[in-house]
Structure 1
Amino acid sequence: MQLSLGPFFICLTVLCTFLVTYTNAEKIVTSNSPLSVIASASNSFGIDFLKRLLQEKTGNIICSPLSVNIVLAMAAYGARGNTGFQIRQTLTLPEEDAIGQSGYESLITSLNDIKTVDLQIANKIFVAKKFEVNPDYTAITKDIFHSECETVDVSNPTAAAATINSWCANNTNNRIKDLLTPDDIDNRTKLVLINAIYFKGKWKDSFDGKYTSDLPFHINSNTIKEVPMMTITSMYLHGQLHNLDARFVELPYKGDEVSMFIIVPNKIDGLQRIENNIHDLDFSRLNQYGRNEEVILFVPKFKIENTIELNNLLQKVGMAEMFTDAADFSGIADTPLKVSKILQKGFIEVNEEGSEAVAASAFLVRPASADAVYKPVIQVDRPFLYAIVDSRYKSILFYGRIQDPTL
């Protein structure tokens, strides 16, 4: 008789309006600390993840390599044998569990310790009624990932989905409300692992909305759309990336602990070259290629919401076995388990809101005098990549592509 395998979901909900940091300024962490090790590992995984995602998905994208990393790490510590090896190797987790677990615990604690902004990272395990999770795994997920277990009745998919979606909404300021549908759940569903990240911060230098106006944006070499374009004159780090035939600009958030980097090709149809060589984009070294100076900046407003099923992508980056009957999650439960679906739902909105710094008209108008000092103009008027990166470890927390700001 063939043993029936209990599938489980790994779900990720991500919301980012304006990102803020996950470290307090007074907390100094050495480069070989567990937190630093996990940040570096997350970055390595995130680049591979992103490159695959950009190859497979067209159009606008919002994703969080950090969110994917955290929820897969939760699964990794319950995986054994080749399944565990594949997940750990792909995530580049340290061989010593104590280092990895301490790093994740420090990361999550640091995120939730920030009190001056709207910031939350949360994990949750929903367990089918009468399904027993190993006590050791429950302890690890609770102590390291701050994740509690809650039972749901999978025989009532509508109610189960409503319970899970309610938790998502509560942990993303009601931005993510419908991560799962009743069709995603049935009697064979045993576990749903969820990570939710909610960030909201402010620009260091805010854009004045009265200067936002419709300007041309080149969707491609043949198509131009008028889009709401924000404008500001301020001090920014910017420079040329000659190997990518592109330029970058760093937009810091209030506190200078996190920034949004925008990578815009020099040619209208030059985004493909950047995406093909994404491994050459090292945010820890961008300051070597640029300089801080006052520039006139034009950036389109945009809002994205997308849901991405990650099964195929994660199989291609090295985690194939966890989706098969050969999966070994015996650290989670004695019942054989395999992953049935991995989802990420993300939301990002970029607009003028920012810090209380004054944006006077003098900062927004190009000098007309022949004797005035020249200010470089940076126009983000073609498809571009963006990344939200913490200033201390240069970890890629959010990444995305804008093909059409109006969609």
Structure 2
Amino acid sequence: MSFDFPEMVTYLRTPLGDSVDVASMKILKESFQDAKDKNVIASPLGVLTLLAMESAGAEGENREEILRLVGTSDYKQLEDNYANLTKNFVAMDPSYLVLANKMYVSAQYTLNEKFSVVASRSYKSDVERVNFAEKKKTADSINKWAADKTKGHISSPVNEGTIDEDAALALFNVIFFQGHWHVPFNAEKTEKKKKIRVIKTTFIWWRLPYKEKGFRMVIVLPDEKNGLPAVVEKLSQRGILEDVFNLRPSGEEVALEMPKFEIQTSHNLNHILPKVNDNITLAW
């Protein structure tokens, strides 16, 4: 594909974006290190949104741990920021972006009314009471909700083995994005290849804007075949946005080859999040 980056595509940098950036890269690093298969996909925004929602019902040390991981010491600021973020995403055209949250509450418990109101108002979260001991029924309910919200694109996020019958509360987030390239690839030049041709240099960065306002794909390649761990480590220390916002059009025609790929990953956040919390600093 030959193209240049149009100057009309602009993006706004915010303190919340920087905070999400740093936490996201740390989650990605721990997910990468925790996974046996190093082809990893993670959705840190979904994780951070659920943690922000959970903090509304947490107190004391539990809330402090969540605030520290998300990257703030101010709960009110946290709720305001993530409420606005959720509101903006929910208002977008569902043909290309869907973000939805839902809480499943054990039938043995009554959800705190204040927490329920905040979850519904600030995070647009649905609430459903279930019997977690009925694992298949609960899994079927969750899968149906995910499929309905994403028009079938996310149809089976859980199975019976995922359900913990002793759970009191389970939080779920689904994100579906199907953007369109600002400068489309030429379908006539699509072909099967065994490998991708890459120019050897230090940290190759590509920024591919979408037609959908505010979205872009950023590709970062290592400077050697087995250099991905070093890239992930470096980005986890400083985030990615500083470099992304410093990117400028190359000023010349660029030939880019990208593969079509599919990745599925399952992460155990009970292993990952404590490691992230041990290595994160406040950003707001």
Whether the 8 Å CA contact 1:123–1:195 is kept in 2: the answer is yes
Pick from 273, 291, 299: which aligns with 2:230?
273
Gaps of 5+ in 2: 1-8, 279-284
Please state whether the residue corresponding to 2:136 is helix, strand or coil.
Answer: helix
Root-mean-square deviation (CA), in Å?
A: 2.7
Quickly say closer, same or farther: Cα 1:44–1:208, change in 2 above 3 A.
Answer: same
Pick from 71, 80, 92: which aligns with 1:102?
80
Deviation at 1:64, TM superposition (A): 1.2
Pick from 251, 260, 263: which aligns with 1:301?
260
| Aligned residues between the structures | 265
Please state whether the residue corresponding to 1:305 is helix, strand or coil.
Answer: coil
Whether the 8 Å CA contact 1:45–1:91 is kept in 2: the answer is yes
Match of 2:178 in 1: 200
Residues 1:285 and 2:243 are matched in the alignment: yes
Whether the 8 Å CA contact 1:38–1:93 is kept in 2: the answer is no
Deviation at 1:295, TM superposition (A): 0.8
Match of 2:269 in 1: 310
Listed as ranges, the matches of 1:4-403 within 5 Å are: 36-57=14-35, 58-95=37-74, 97-115=75-93, 117-185=95-163, 187-217=165-195, 245-255=202-212, 257-278=214-235, 279-280=237-238, 282-286=240-244, 288=246, 290-292=248-250, 293-318=252-277
Per-residue deviation, residues 247-269 of structure 1 (Å, max 9, x unmatched): 11111111452111111223223
Whether the 8 Å CA contact 1:171–1:197 is kept in 2: the answer is no
| TM-score scaled by length of structure 1 | 0.59
Structure 1 range deviating more: 147-156 or 132-141: 147-156
Query: Which amino acid in the other structure matches residue 118 of structure 2?
Result: I
Per-residue deviation, residues 182-210 of structure 1 (Å, max 9, x unmatched): 23335422221111111111011111222
| TM-score scaled by length of structure 2 | 0.83
Whether the 8 Å CA contact 2:222–2:231 is kept in 1: the answer is yes
Greater helix content: 2
Greater strand content: 1
How high is the sequence identity, in percent, across the aligned residues? 25
Please state whether the residue corresponding to 2:253 is helix, strand or coil.
Answer: strand
Bigger Cα Rg: 1
Whether the 8 Å CA contact 2:153–2:176 is kept in 1: the answer is no
Deviation at 1:156, TM superposition (A): 2.0
Gaps of 5+ in 1: 1-24, 219-228, 230-238, 320-407
Please state whether the residue corresponding to 1:126 is helix, strand or coil.
Answer: strand
